[in-house]
Structure 1
Amino acid sequence: MKKPILFAILLSSISSAVEIHGLRYVTETEEGIRFARFREDILAMPTHQLGLNPAKAQNTSGGIVAFKTDAAQITAHFKILSANYMGAGFGVFENSKLIEEFKFSPQATDAVLKFQSTQPGESLFEIVLPSFANVEFQGLESDGGKVPTIGNQKGADSACYVALGDSISHGVGQDGYGHKTWPFLLSRKLNMELFNLAVGGGKIAVPVAEMLEDWKWIDLITILVGYNGLHFNDKSPETYKADYARLLDAIRKNHPETKIVCISLLTTKKPVSEKTGHTVDEFRAVLEKLVAEHNDPNLILIKGEEVSSEKNLQADKPQDPVHLSIEGAALLADSLFEKLTSSALFHRKSTNHQ
């Protein structure tokens, strides 16, 4: 049996083994590496104040473990700390091409990913972590090729993209795979490093926007939020607009020139709140008005009804009125990419890196 290259052995030289992308908060343990999308003090806040459920935020959506090696066969070891009903779905990329997918049940506690290189010579491997499971990376083993290194990989010099939102952006509907969510797919099209800070059940979360002070720079932020406020929090359009304004102000405090894309509510089979009678169109209208009032050259609106339709929804789950299918998430990423790359915002130079 080949001896794994465990993180515990590499504590003094972790950069020579793997690089973590898309997760800001990384912790070393005796057994490996643990990941967090949010700061501990943020998750310690009361749910009503935070705007999201801390338990649903403790997973690795958007995260990547990356390394280079010329080994033909590689095994990666993970401990599954928790998972929701979707279980833990991993995707393995070699030189940006998806080569393997692994799926583990919600009851699984260990994940062993065995995969083979599809190309000769040294390759860049990226293990994309699950969207609704919390995992600990415990090491790599190979068939005797070079010890994995980080080399010249995407990360330090790549543009930074942060996705804010709820379950639609977190990945409900994509079977627990982080690499099938629309923010991940969009980040690949834009060649940006994704930090997915969307959380299932989330509403407008001003403390999360304030947490962005921990990012030196951010090139792009997308915001898609409001469905839960409309249907489950009795929000009026006016309250939604006021909360959204506070969110934008919190972002601008630390990132005055970041490009921000506000996506209004997508197509849904449930356009009217049963509790308040308010509608999706009302929420869309006040967001459009808010963006116009800001008169910010680095802030734009993309109308959700223009980038989505019922084709994006889960045909095999007609009772779900809002979540995207795997194909629907890909369609949304395509539509958003087209909108962004044809907009003046996308072609305006950013000074965030300076």
Structure 2
Amino acid sequence: MSNLIEVPIVPELLRGLVELEDTGRGLRPHRLPSWARTQAADPQLDMAESQPSGVRLVFRTCATRLELETIPTKREYVGAPVRPDGIHDLVVDGVLANQGSVPGGDTLVIDMSAGSFEHRQGDPGTIRFDRLAAGEKLVEIWLPHDEATVLVALRADAAVAPAPRDAPVWLHHGSSISQGSNATHPTGTWPAVAARRAGLDLLNLGVGGSALVDPFTARTIRDTRADLISLKLGINVVNQDLVRLRGFRAAVHGFLDTIREGHPETPLLLISPILCPIHEQVPGPSLPDMSALQEGRLSFVAGGSSDEVAVGKLTLESIRAELERIVDERAPSDPHLAHLDGRELYGAADAEELPLPDALHPDGATHRRIGERFAQWMTGTAGWVPPTDH
């Protein structure tokens, strides 16, 4: 399409990220800053935070044709089925108008049994959106929530201008469920569903496997602009069998203390885990279900024993009780802190109707249900934001 013009990808066109890295091949959005990634020194965190869940290009234009050239990173899990390509969502004036994937790109080969990661470099690819309606419009291109993406070029057949930022910024931190694992497209993750329904500007700091109450995450949140903050903590601590009850309690208090240094009166919500039957009463770690892998399925089992709870090993039941206790203790001095039991978003009845396909992560329909319920909580029960027509 020779009549397309090159549009510089400047930070003003991007939402939902903390940092933009020039890789030499293009621009990589990050949801954690470089100093935090250095402190973690964790390939799992590097992979998850570079998957741009909630990151989108947002602009006003009269263009009827758009191209986005990127370098995606496809994931291959040894012994598991081939994963589908990441999806880009095109949203025009608030309505999902088109979807598509970028072919080619790099490949990350992950061996869960060995804990190894191998990166293979590939070529850029391009996604095209044609036949957009004429006239000026608000365009959002949501990047894949589960596929790391380097932005190479944006092209359009008309001028592009950054859109004004006029919505409250909602910063959310959580696990792979918050990042969107098993959601089918980027505006289908539960935080994206909730944000769009409530009319909020989403900054999704959900990082698969890495909602571990890390001090560097708390400092990132402390130093980032936000009008509303929510924290969904617990499942990853159990997944990794990271700490005992005593350590978890102190870590959460410290996490909240750090955030309050930068956001002393910002509405702050602590959300406990949604229902996850394998870990309700059985501690971690979470382990791949090898029998499922032999059948070509990815699933998980609890690797701990309920007998270990007595010595402080964490289950989801004990974490929920502790998070509620922490909020109650802090409430007299922090009236802007609230608590939400995650089972109000996905509980026992939901698990009967919509079981977790891999025993850990909700599917697309469940993401939508959780997002709709959380939007209702924010706009109704909690009164965080006024209702909208989104």
Q: TM-score range by the shorter chain?
A: 0.7 to 0.9
**What displacement does 1:78 show?**
1.7
Q: Which letter does structure 2 place at the counterpart of 1:36?
A: H
Do 1:166 and 1:224's aligned partners in 2 also have CA atoms closer than 8 Å?
yes
SS at 1:141's partner residue?
A: strand
2:159 to 147, 169, 182: 147
Runs of at least 5 residues in structure 1 that lack an aligned partner in the other structure = 349-354
Equivalenced residue count is 332
Q: Which letter does structure 2 place at the counterpart of 1:103?
A: S
Matches of 1:94 and 1:347, distance apart in 2: 23
Q: Identify if the C-alpha distance between structure 1 residues 126 and 186 changes in structure 2 by more than 3 Å, giving closer, same or farther.
A: same
Q: Identify if the C-alpha distance between structure 1 residues 31 and 140 changes in structure 2 by more than 3 Å, giving closer, same or farther.
A: same
Do 2:269 and 2:337's aligned partners in 1 also have CA atoms closer than 8 Å?
yes
Q: Identify if the C-alpha distance between structure 1 residues 345 and 255 changes in structure 2 by more than 3 Å, giving closer, same or farther.
A: farther
1:279 maps to 2:271: no
Matches of 1:162 and 1:212, distance apart in 2: 8
Matches of 1:191 and 1:154, distance apart in 2: 14
Q: Identify if the C-alpha distance between structure 1 residues 109 and 184 changes in structure 2 by more than 3 Å, giving closer, same or farther.
A: farther
Matches of 2:99 and 2:352, distance apart in 1: 21
TM superposition score normalised by structure 2: 0.76
Q: Which letter does structure 1 place at the counterpart of 2:91?
A: F
**What displacement does 1:266 show?**
0.6
Q: Which letter does structure 2 place at the counterpart of 1:6?
A: E
Counterpart of 2:195 in structure 1 is 187
Q: Which letter does structure 1 place at the counterpart of 2:323?
A: L
Matches of 2:175 and 2:30, distance apart in 1: 17
Counterpart of 1:83 in structure 2 is 74
Question: How do residues 1-354 of structure 1 correspond to structure 2 at under 5 angstroms?
Answer: 1-2=1-2, 4-6=4-6, 10=8, 14=10, 19-28=13-22, 32-47=26-41, 53-80=45-72, 82-85=73-76, 86=83, 87-104=85-102, 107=107, 109-142=123-156, 144=157, 146-150=158-162, 153-155=163-165, 157-175=166-184, 177-202=185-210, 203-215=212-224, 217-270=225-278, 271=280, 272-273=282-283, 274-275=304-305, 276-277=308-309, 278-295=314-331, 296-309=334-347, 320-344=358-382, 346=384
SS at 1:149's partner residue?
A: strand
Identical residues among aligned pairs (%): 22
Do 2:177 and 2:362's aligned partners in 1 also have CA atoms closer than 8 Å?
yes
**What displacement does 1:267 show?**
0.9
TM superposition score normalised by structure 1: 0.84
Q: Identify if the C-alpha distance between structure 1 residues 34 and 183 changes in structure 2 by more than 3 Å, giving closer, same or farther.
A: same
* Cα shift readout 1:1-54 (whole Å, capped 9, x = no counterpart): 4155335xx48xx48xx6111112124566643311111111011458x9x723
Q: Which letter does structure 2 place at the counterpart of 1:90?
A: H
Matches of 1:231 and 1:36, distance apart in 2: 24
Runs of at least 5 residues in structure 2 that lack an aligned partner in the other structure = 77-82, 108-121, 284-303
